[in-house]
């Protein structure tokens, strides 16, 4: 059963029986407000998530993520939540500091 743990949101856990889903869709379905300025189309980096653990449980980087990586807008250990698909297991992520919403509560 795939699981997402958002570390800097008080270790909020999202469990799903439905693998092969975009990370951002699972986050939004669990009523977590997560930035996505381009409408989840992979055209910006506002949905960036910092991978703490479990990146191997995600789909490989796609063309949009690779382009931002090559431009230096994504670093090692960062992925786009709108493009990453959780395939299995557990991923532990953090909300990137510049992408935090002022109305949300974070544990750091």
**Using one digit for the tens of pLDDT, what is the confidence trace for 25-70?**
999 999 999 999 999 999 999 999 999 999 999 999 999 999 999 9
In this predicted structure, what is the pLDDT of residue 20? 87
Does position 19 have pLDDT exceeding 90, yes or no? no
Fold of 3-98: Ubiquitin-like (UB roll) (3.10.20)
Does position 18 have pLDDT exceeding 90, yes or no? no
Domain ranges of the chain: 3-98
In this predicted structure, what is the pLDDT of residue 67? 97
- Three-class SS of 45-95: CCCEEEEEECHHHECCCCHHHHHHHHCCCCCCCEEECCCCEECCCEEEEEE
- Give the N- to C-terminal CA distance of the chain in Å, as an integer: 28
For residue 76 the two structure tokens come to: 């090692």
């Amino acid at each position: 059963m795939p699981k997402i743990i958002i570390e800097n949101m008080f270790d909020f856990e999202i469990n799903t029986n439905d693998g092969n889903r975009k990370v951002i869709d699972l986050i939004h379905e669990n009523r977590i407000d997560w930035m996505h300025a381009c409408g989840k189309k992979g055209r910006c980096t506002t949905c960036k998530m910092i991978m703490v653990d479990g990146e191997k449980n995600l789909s490989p980087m796609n063309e949009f993520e690779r382009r931002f990586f090559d431009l230096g807008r994504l670093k090692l250990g960062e992925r786009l939540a709108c493009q990453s698909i959780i395939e299995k297991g557990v991923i532990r992520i953090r909300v990137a500091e510049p992408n935090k919403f002022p109305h949300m509560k974070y544990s750091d």
